[in-house]
């Protein structure tokens, strides 16, 4: 396995771990602030948009560079 292949795999694993950590932080924030069902939804929607934008940007850059997905 080449170094570039290993880096690509570790990038995907790292992004998945990062996304999981972000969702856990949002959940913990909602739980500690007693946000309720609607407040929790708003927190996940608003803060999750930042994560979604980051992931979409990563995919778009990868597609533009010709690497495919």
CB under 8 A, 24+ apart: contacts of 5-13: none
Handedness of CA 58, 62, 64, 68 (dihedral sign): negative
Residue 55 has pLDDT above 70, yes or no: yes
What does the block give as tokens for 4?
């570039």
pLDDT in tens, 5-35: 898 889 889 988 988 998 899 999 999 999 8
pTM of the model: 0.68
pLDDT of residue 16: 87
pLDDT of residue 18: 87
Cα separations (Å) of 26 from 3, 13, 33, 42, 50? 34, 20, 11, 10, 12
| Domain boundaries, given as residue ranges, for the chain | 3-66
What whole-number percentage of the chain has pLDDT above 90?
A: 41
Cα separations (Å) of 45 from 3, 50, 69? 37, 9, 25
pLDDT of residue 45: 93
């Amino acid at each position: 396995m080449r170094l570039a292949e290993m880096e690509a795999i570790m990038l995907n694993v790292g992004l998945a771990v990062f996304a999981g950590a972000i969702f856990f932080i949002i959940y913990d924030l909602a739980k500690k602030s007693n946000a309720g069902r609607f407040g929790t939804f708003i927190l996940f929607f608003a803060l999750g948009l930042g994560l979604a934008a980051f992931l979409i940007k990563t995919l778009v850059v990868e597609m533009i560079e010709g690497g495919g997905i």
